[in-house]
């Protein structure tokens, strides 16, 4: 045998035990980094399973208080709320009713767990008969400027119900400025805005649209959501929303857009969220159900990757299962 010099660096020294690995671990993931999305349906009693999202449910208003208490026990600090109303119309007017389904859910969750941070999604797709994110122009396109005051009205309604953070997901130009002005004018200067700043027209939203009953009745959303091919444009979107008054920004989806998360992280010091969306969740569930991957390890690896890319906040349907696995 030929004698060889010992390696100069033995990287495995720092991998010998879990204690050493934890000591030098660069990326931290705790329940405090997680936000749990919840679907609340008007008129529903209890819980209804969401078929393409195993383990996830639509909740009736009678079930949200216990959900809030469970999240408190698990150490998960925040929820992102989506509503399925009893009635829809062309303008989505159920979105800003004082006793709308999300408004009532906020009140009940706050009563059950006062420390829970409630984030209200602001978009009209769940509330309109046509399923698009704003009101329609005569040619069937979404009318950006006519939609802005409706989004602002929805935001104020959620703030009046006790919502802590407003999260506009509609991708209308100028929505952050319109919402900030409306909140401030209504006396809600302390209510923060988490903007879906870089929201891509993704194929990974399919299960969500079943859960939220929000699929467009015609066409698609590529006219206002971002082209998946673009990262420079994502940065421009983010910086525009920052200039308009966003307190936090978001990249959506997460795992197929880790490069975008990193690029955004390098351009802004604002808190950065990433949404680990329904299609990402469903794919991992399907692979685990077939025994192709270890679900617990895969969930931890996926969420850690999102944090490693630069996200401060991870919005994920895995939040509760991950927190339970670490308790």
- The strand pairing partners of 39, in sequence order, are 58, 82
pLDDT (0 to 100) of residue 12: 93
Contact between 252 and 293 (Cβ < 8 Å): no
Domain extent listing, the chain: 27-326
Average pLDDT, the chain: 96
pLDDT, one tens digit per residue, over 104-123 is 999 999 999 999 999 999 99
pLDDT at 2 (0 to 100): 58
- The 8-class DSSP code of residue 176 comes to H
Instruction: Give tens-digit pLDDT for 170-216.
Output: 999 999 999 999 999 999 999 999 999 999 999 999 999 999 999 99
Inform me whether the pLDDT recorded for 8 exceeds 90.
no
As a whole number of angstroms, the distance between CA 292 and CA 290 comes to 6
Which CATH superfamily, name and number, covers 27-326?
Aldolase class I (3.20.20.70)
pLDDT at residue 149 is higher than 90 = yes
Provide the sign of the torsion angle of the four alpha carbons 191, 278, 242, 185, taken in this order: negative
User: How many angstroms separate the CA atoms of 69 and 138, rounded?
Assistant: 46
> In this predicted structure, what is the pLDDT of residue 133?
95
Going by pLDDT thresholds of 50, 70 and 90, the confidence category of residue 5 is confident
Q: What is the DSSP string of 246-284?
A: -SEEEEESSGGGHHHHHHHHTT--S-EEEEE-HHHHHHH
- The string of pLDDT tens digits covering residues 37-71 is 999 999 999 999 999 999 999 999 999 999 999 99
Rg (CA), the chain: 21
What average pLDDT score do residues 232-244 get? 98
Whether the per-residue pLDDT at 304 is higher than 80: the answer is yes
Token digits of residue 228:
């998946």
Task: Find tokens 């959620």 and name the residue.
Answer: 158
Q: Please tell me whether the peptide bond between 253 and the residue prior to it is cis, using omega within 30 degrees of 0.
A: yes
pTM of the entire predicted model: 0.95
User: Does 29 score more than 60 pLDDT?
Assistant: yes
For residue 6, name the pLDDT band (cuts at 50, 70, 90): confident
Catalytic site residues? 199, 252
Residue 101 region by backbone torsions, left for phi larger than 0, else alpha for psi between -120 and 50, else beta: alpha
* Residue 44: both structure tokens together: 């529903």
Are 88 and 128 in contact by the 8 Å Cβ rule? The answer is yes
Instruction: Tell me the mean pLDDT in the region 12-17.
Output: 94
- Write the DSSP symbol of residue 229: T
């Amino acid at each position: 045998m030929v004698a060889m010099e010992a390696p100069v660096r033995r990287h495995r020294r720092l991998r010998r035990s879990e204690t050493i690995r934890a000591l030098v671990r660069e990326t931290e993931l705790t329940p405090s980094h997680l936000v749990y999305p919840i679907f609340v349906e008007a008129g529903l009693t209890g819980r209804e399973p969401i078929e393409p999202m195993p383990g996830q449910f639509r909740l009736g208003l009678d079930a949200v208080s216990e959900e809030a208490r469970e999240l408190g026990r698990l150490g998960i600090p925040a929820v992102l709320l989506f509503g399925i109303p009893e009635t829809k119309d062309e303008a989505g007017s159920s979105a800003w009713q004082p006793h709308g389904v999300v408004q009532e859910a906020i009140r009940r969750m706050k009563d059950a767990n006062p420390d829970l941070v409630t984030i209200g999604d602001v978009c009209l797709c769940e509330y309109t008969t046509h399923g698009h994110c704003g009101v329609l122009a005569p040619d069937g396109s979404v009318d950006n400027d006519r939609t802005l005051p409706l989004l602002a009205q929805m935001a104020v309604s959620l703030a009046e119900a006790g919502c802590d953070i407003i999260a506009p997901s509609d991708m209308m130009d100028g929505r952050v400025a319109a919402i900030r002005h409306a909140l401030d004018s209504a006396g809600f200067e302390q209510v923060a805005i988490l903007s879906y700043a870089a929201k891509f027209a993704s194929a990974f939203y399919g299960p969500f649209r079943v859960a939220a009953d929000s699929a467009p009745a015609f066409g698609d959303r590529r006219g206002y959501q971002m082209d998946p091919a673009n990262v420079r444009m994502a940065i421009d979107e983010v910086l525009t929303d920052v200039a308009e008054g966003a307190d936090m920004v978001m990249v959506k989806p997460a795992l197929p857009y880790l490069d975008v998360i990193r690029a955004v992280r390098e351009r802004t010091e604002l808190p950065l969220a990433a949404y680990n969306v329904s299609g990402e969740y469903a794919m991992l569930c399907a692979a685990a159900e077939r025994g192709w991957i270890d679900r617990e390890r895969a969930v931890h690896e996926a969420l850690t990757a999102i944090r490693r890319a630069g996200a401060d906040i991870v919005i994920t349907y895995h939040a509760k299962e991950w927190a339970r696995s670490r308790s």
